[in-house]
Structure 1
Amino acid sequence: MLRTFFYLALACSATAQTPALVIRAVTDRPQALYQTGETAQFDLTVTQAGKPLAQGQIQCFLSKDGVDPKREEILQIQDGKASLTGTLGEPGFLLLRASIAGQKDFAQASAGFSPQEIKPSLPVPDDFDAFWSAQKAALAQVEMKSTLTPVDSPVPKVDAFDAQITCLGAPVSGYYGRPKNAKAKSYPAILFVHGAGVGGSSLGAVAWSEREGGMLSLDINAHGLPNGKPKAFYDEQAAGALKDYRFQGRDDREKCYFKGMFLRVIRALDFLTAQPEWDGKTLIVYGSSQGGFQAFAAAGLDPRVTFFCAGVPAGCDHTGISAGRINGWPKLVTVTDGKAMEAELQTARYFDNVNFATRAKCQGAAVTVGFIDTVCPPSSVYAAYNALTMPKTLHTMPLTGHKSSPEASAFMTEAALAHVRAMRQK
């Protein structure tokens, strides 16, 4: 039977006398997907120096995507093998964590049970639209002014610029790419948004301006910081004003850090759509992790967006605890003894991809999800993905944590380019 597997070499003070142990966890279906109530089987193997470990113990924890209660079992290894089964009586993911006694490293595998049926943990707030309309109105009062400073382009057929664009609070700061000798009303536009962390924008992204007959491209950093500074500059920001930025204002929707971040995304779209070379119809937002968070928000807040790509997106189902599920990154809601901090819970609802998804009216979306992702757990991603109502595609990664596999990256790239091709035919 074809099987999926995840493996991790266990660091066992490897020497010539004590070769490292390798543990593998295997699900009995290649896509690791089951119907609610079905039984998933996890088979485990342990080898040392390429040979089955004769005997020993594996400590196993099964949980609902990391949420208590957790079922613990100690499995006896026989000729390098052990197995256990599990099920869920509700849509969600059963996560296995397995380790050898005395070792800090572990292997993981996960089985999804009817994940397409996962629903948002809480409804959209009654004044969700009014809140964001007020934020966009405030942004509109700030005149958009842009400063484009030429920089050396990484590709020969593209003019590249450091772009500084006025916004509420911190400016939009990015690198803008435009095909040389660009003609008016000729090019689709794509906005790249960043994952978590503190740094400048990526100049390499302007290479997209060479693709599919030419595009306008803009890569912005998440915080409106100047570009091209020494690493020490960004480290200082990360240790200072931007330390734990994800938690800033999380108990007050007017002060939540992500409000400013999302308004910078909207202003970046203002800039792209104001360029005389824009074709007037194609606008893509592309990002992973925190970038996926921003991509969902852009689609939900700005009707100009025609397509978005969100890899292993953060910002999904912040209030999962309300439905007995795990909260994903950025963990806006403090949970103590199973209870959520109420002010944080209510604030988080205005910055949740499950709610942005219900407002998104674009022509399509491409999303990726890792089944053993403990940063942006699959149950949270599915809650947001399922709430999308437009044509959409999902690339699943049963063996992957919080990263994009080469296949997932290719999936997102091709989805964006296919949208460009389709829009050019309209």
Structure 2
Amino acid sequence: MALFDLPLEELREYRPERDEPADFDSFWKNTLSEASVHPLSADFRPYDAALAGVEVFETTFAGWGGHPINAWMMVPRGATGVPCVVQYIGYGGGRGLPHDHLVWPAGGYAALVVDTRGQGAQHHNSPGSTADPYGGQNMQAPGMMTRGILDPEHYYYRRVFTDAVRAVDVAAAHPAVDADRIVVAGGSQGGAIAQAVAALQPKVVAAFIDVPFLTHFRRAVEITDADPYHEIVRFLSTQRDSAERVFRTLSYFDGLNFAARGEVPALYSVALMDLICPPSTVYAAYNLWAGQKDITVWPWNGHEGGGGRQIDIQLRHLRDLFAG
């Protein structure tokens, strides 16, 4: 692992041209409007997690297509009117178990930890429990990146991002949560989801976006051989006449286009030796973010980024954000 991307001085100024479809805004407006015909049906069932200081709720709600999405809602015991962090999960992982996510409740915040549909069977430490009933409309390379990739209407991440937007409404519906103080957070795939939701969901007041995936697709697939981006390369290596359709689809889900619409305060992080989410792809989004922003740079790390050190920074950031 070495410094393989642009020098830091160039990263700080890197603002690539965006491949944005003319109907980007209407596509997402129509997608969320279509989803809204399904009642949210948020259900919070008390769950015995053997955690004396935290109330845990087994949570389900209706995501894209009315499909059931699972989550954990966790609240400091006895708390009311608290801010909430809506946490999204990295690629291949699921929501795991409540004790995996105690940092936010320990800080005095509620947390909604959202499963990613169709994932959670890859990482044995973070199992998921939410299926993706929709089958997609084309052959796919192993993994989730090319499911439905020939048409934005059928692309997998249309459903995932919609689920994630609706999850914020779920958090706002819990009686212990202050609906005016909801933050979205995640790393890698979770960071990409948080980035998109912060641009699409007006209830969000801030975003923690760590080493975001699904961002600056064209550059990512050209400069890294690492999965999951390489799933797209494998697909194109056999579906040789599909590149134009593939990149058109991806333009509706590219983090660059969401970043340009992100107006809430955002705290990013980037790792300069990250082969999975190359630093130029992260900086491209950060530099385009339209709202107040800051970025933590980890010069000697790969995709793990700042790990616990980044969480420490986020906790202090939240404390300052909600002071008083």
What's the TM-score once normalised by structure 2's chain length?
0.83
What whole-Å deviation, never above 9, does each CA across 1:383-421 have from its counterpart, x for those lacking one? 111111222121112221111334xx3234433542344
Question: Residues 391-402 of structure 1: matches in 2 within 5 Å?
Answer: 391-402=292-303
2:52 aligns with one of 156, 159, 162: 156
In structure 1, list runs of 5 or more residues that go unmatched: 1-5, 7-24, 26-31, 33-62, 66-92, 94-110
Higher relative contact order (CA 8 A, sep 6+): 2
Match of residue 356, structure 1, among 235, 247, 258 = 258
**Could you list the per-position Cα deviations for residues 170-207 of structure 1 after superposition, in whole angstroms to 9, with x for gaps in the alignment?**
32211111232333xx1101111100114443412552
Q: Which of 126-135 and 395-404 deviates more?
A: 395-404
What displacement does 1:278 show? 2.0
Task: Give the structure 2 partner of residue 295 of structure 1.
Answer: 194
Task: Indicate yes or no: 2:82 matched with 1:195.
Answer: no
Other-structure match for 2:146: 247
Aligned to 1:75: none
In 2 relative to 1, CA 226–150 (structure 1 residues): closer, same or farther, beyond 3 Å? farther
Distance 2:315 2:128 in 1: 30
Aligned mates of 2:304, 2:213 — CA distance in 1 = 12
Larger radius of gyration: 1
Q: How far does the alpha carbon of each residue in 1:108-163 deviate from its partner, in whole angstroms, 9 at most, with x for none?
A: xxx43421221134243221110000011011111011232322235312111111
CA contact (8 A) 1:195 1:289 kept: yes
The residue type equivalent to 1:371 in the other structure is L
Q: What is the letter of the counterpart of residue 179 of structure 1?
A: P
Deviation at 1:359, TM superposition (A): 1.0
- Answer yes or no: is the 8 Å Cα contact 2:56–2:74 preserved in 1: yes
Residue 291 of structure 2 aligns to which amino acid in structure 1?
M
Displacement after TM superposition at 1:321 (Å): 7.4
Contact map agreement 1:205 1:219 (CA 8 A) in 2: no
Secondary structure, counterpart of 2:99 in structure 1: helix
Which of 133, 142, 162 pairs up with 2:29? 133
Task: Please list, as runs of the form range in 1=range in 2, the aligned pairs for 1:60-209 lying within 5 A after superposition.
Answer: 65=5, 93=6, 111-153=7-49, 155-169=51-65, 170-183=67-80, 186-208=81-103
Select the residue among 103, 109, 124 that pairs with 1:215: 109
- Secondary structure, aligned partner of 1:320: helix
- RMSD over aligned CA atoms reads 3.3
2:194 is the counterpart of 1:304: no
Deviation of the 1:330 alpha carbon = 4.2
Q: Deviations over 1:246-280 (max 9, x none)?
A: 21011210111111111111111011112232223
Residue in structure 2 matched with residue 38 of structure 1 by the alignment: none
Name the aligned partner's letter for residue 84 of structure 2: A
Native 8 Å contact 2:191 2:213 kept in 1: yes
Equivalent in the alignment of 1:386: 287
Look up the SS of the partner of 2:27 in the other structure: helix
Q: Which residue of 2 aligns with 1:347?
A: 249
CA shift at 1:215, angstroms?
1.9
Which structure has greater strand proportion?
Answer: 1
TM-aligned CA distance change 1:153 to 1:292, over 3 Å: same
2:163 to 260, 264, 289: 264
Which runs of 5 or more residues in structure 2 are unaligned? none
- Equivalent residues, number: 308
**Residue of structure 1 in register with 2:180 after alignment:** 281
Q: 1:371 to 1:208 in 2, by over 3 A?
A: closer
Q: How does 1:362-373 map to 2 (within 5 A)?
A: 362=264, 364-373=265-274
Give the whole-Å Cα distance in 2 for the aligned partners of 1:255 and 1:292. Answer: 22
Q: Which moved more, 1:245-254 or 1:277-286?
A: 277-286
- Larger deviation: 131-140 or 145-154? 145-154
Paired residues of 1:366 and 1:394 also in contact (CA < 8 A): yes
Distance 2:225 2:280 in 1: 9
Letter in 2 for 1:219: V
* Distance in structure 1 (CA, Å) of the matches to 2:316 and 2:228: 30
Return the structure number with greater helix share: 2
SS of equivalent to 1:117: coil
Distance between the aligned counterparts of 1:177 and 1:148, measured in 2?
10
Residue 301 of structure 1 and its aligned partner are, at CA, apart by 1.0
TM-score, with length taken from structure 1 = 0.64
